[in-house]
Amino acid sequence: MERTAVILAAGLGTRMKSVLPKTLHKIAGRSMLRHLLASCEQVFDRIVVVIGPDMDAVRQEAAPHPCVVQHERRGTAHAALVAAAHFGDGEVAVLYADNPLIRLGTLRHLLERRTAGDAALALLAFRPADPGRYGRVLMRDGYVERVVEWIDAADAERAATLCNAGVLCAAATDMARWLNQVRADNAKGEYYLTDVVALARADGGRVAAVEAPAEEVAGINSRSELAAAEAVVQSWLRGAAMDAGVTMTDPSSVFLCADTELAPDVTIEPNVVFGPGVKVASGAQIRAFTHLEGCIVGADCIVGPHARLRPGAELGEHVHIGNFVEVKATKLGAGAKANHLSYLGDADIGAETNIGAGTITCNYDGYNKHRTTIGARAFIGSDTALVAPVTVGDGAIVAAGSVITEDVPPDALALARGKQANKPGRAVAIRGKLQGKQR
């Protein structure tokens, strides 16, 4: 049986107060649309996304799934009908891109309930802590009798706690027929997807309700609702990581991305932020106030506190990156250390090399980036500037305070600083002169 998901993503999201289409706003580093696609891709054979005109950014985000354009925004039923040519011959589910947190198990349950054989239509419902102005799902004898919008509901109907999440699933032929029958006889003159429920009932079909966790189906229409969704996803990600063997001393202060990969026995201290594309191997310690993005951390590394790993940073096993060290597009071999106050950008650093405090790889000339290569077991003294492109050989020592502009051979000592000159007694004369001018 072929299964098709139609995702409605044509809304502008004016309540977000943003030039960015609503569905492209991110939760845990991933757009709303991508969150929903990730779940749907594991359940449905085909996915089609309905977008509005001039929404090329949403089209790109949906790739490789096809998009169809709703040229006139005439309501949710009209948007779903625009995709009818993609329904196929099996089951069709209509979902909303601004309702992105529906999880794999819920989607499977929806499909299973629809195909159990006793319901022509299945919908998702939920029980929020505050039902507020949500549409109510009214049940009778275990099936949906009707869905009523809050504004149209009587007081007794508003007392119902089961609310409509808006997601529907039916056989493709039925869904297409009902969508064609929806009328815009309402105050807004729009075609509402919820009218399909009444049409299914009018056909004599049963409508089943699948109750989903409220946190999965709460829509996102404002920045505050986006923040609430972020909190939900972070709680899921933290819980999954700890269940997999990760230690977090203060989970609520750790922020993960949807694609963060943490091996068992990783330890994460408070106030750590993971951007997209981070992989951390077993035994690593990520210490407090560290920021990681687009990087690989090897086994048994120590990173932080107050460190920053930027895209392209790759740490081998047992690497130490200490406080106020920034690493970008740099590979450090096993056992290398940079424990204090350094910038390492566009570099290759060999195993067991020590980088002293205040070291800088001067990688940018104002127009292009250049690489620095440091061999294994080298020692770079404190306050060294390595002006790329430059190479320091295996076992070399660079004296503290040096500015290195030429290659250093293996096992050589490099000194590149002015000769110190001491002038006995001059300090007394200088102080006297300055005191005489003091105001």
3-state secondary structure of 388: coil
Nearest CA to 404 among 350, 352, 347?
A: 347
| pLDDT for the residue numbered 174 | 96
Long-range contacts of 57-64 (CB under 8 A, 24+ apart): 57/20, 57/21, 57/24, 58/9, 58/21, 58/23, 58/24, 58/33, 61/23, 61/24, 61/31, 61/33, 61/34, 62/7, 62/9, 62/33, 62/37
85-137 per-position pLDDT tens digit: 999 999 999 999 999 999 999 999 999 999 998 999 999 999 999 888 889 99
Catalytic residues: 340
Mean per-residue pLDDT of the chain: 95
Helix (H, G, I), strand (E, B) or coil at 89: coil
Q: What span, in angstroms and rounded, lies between the C-alpha atoms of 235 and 107?
A: 20
Pick the residue with more confidence: 431 or 351? Answer: 351
If you count DSSP H runs as helices and E runs as strands, how many of each does the chain have, helices first?
Answer: 10, 35
pLDDT in tens, 24-52: 999 999 999 999 999 999 999 999 999 99
Distance between CA atoms of residues 237 and 229, nearest Å: 12
Q: Mean pLDDT, to the nearest integer, of 72-77?
A: 90
According to DSSP, residue 65 is labeled: S
Per-residue model confidence as pLDDT tens digits over 344-373 = 999 999 999 999 999 999 999 989 999 999
Bridge partners (DSSP) of residue 285 are: 267, 302
Is the backbone peptide bond immediately before 213 cis, with ω within 30 degrees of 0? Answer: no
Tokens 């969150």 identify what position?
35
Cα Rg of the chain, angstroms: 30
- What are the distances in angstroms from CA 437 to CA 318, 387, 434? 56, 41, 5
In the chain, what is the straight-line distance between the N-terminal and C-terminal CA atoms, in Å? 91
- What are the b/e assignments for 70-104, b being 16+ CB within 10 Å? beeebbbbbbbbbbbebbeebbbbbbbbbbbbbbe
Q: Does residue 195 contact residue 77 with C-beta atoms inside 8 Å?
A: yes
What is the C-alpha to C-alpha distance for residues 424 and 439, in angstroms, rounded to an integer? 28
The set of long-range contacts for 425-432, using a CB threshold of 8 Å and a minimum separation of 24, is none
The reported pLDDT for the residue numbered 115 is: 92
Q: Give pLDDT tens digits for 283-331.
A: 999 999 999 999 999 999 999 999 999 999 999 999 999 999 999 999 9
Q: Per the structure block, which two tokens stand in for 60? A: 């790109």
For residue 265, give Cα distances in angstroms to 1, 167, 244, 259, 332: 42, 40, 9, 18, 22
Q: Of residues 329 and 11, which shows the higher confidence score?
A: 329
Q: Output the pLDDT for position 325.
A: 98
Q: Rounded mean pLDDT of 398-424? A: 94
Better-predicted residue by pLDDT, 252 or 153: 252
Closest CA to 337 of 360, 324, 321: 321
Q: What is the pLDDT of residue 220?
A: 93
Q: Which domains does the chain have, with CATH numbers?
A: 3-217 (3.90.550.10), 223-414 (2.160.10.10)
- The Cα 323–Cα 439 span in angstroms is 41
SS3 121: strand
Amino acid at position 1, single letter: M
Phi, psi for residue 374 in degrees, rounded to 5:
-120, 130
pLDDT tens, 178-214?
A: 999 999 887 778 888 999 999 999 999 999 999 999 9
Give the pLDDT band of residue 439 (cuts 50, 70, 90): low
pTM of the model: 0.91
Q: Which two tokens stand for residue 337?
A: 């250390």
pLDDT, tens digit (0-9, with 9 covering 90-100), for 47-64? 999 999 999 999 999 999
Around 92, how many Cα atoms within 13 Å sit in the side-chain half-sphere? Answer: 24
Determine contact, residues 136/147, Cβ cutoff 8 Å: yes
Cα–Cα distance measured from residue 156 to residue 147, given in angstroms and rounded to the nearest whole number: 14
Is pLDDT of 400 > 80? yes
For 74, the token pair is 């005439």
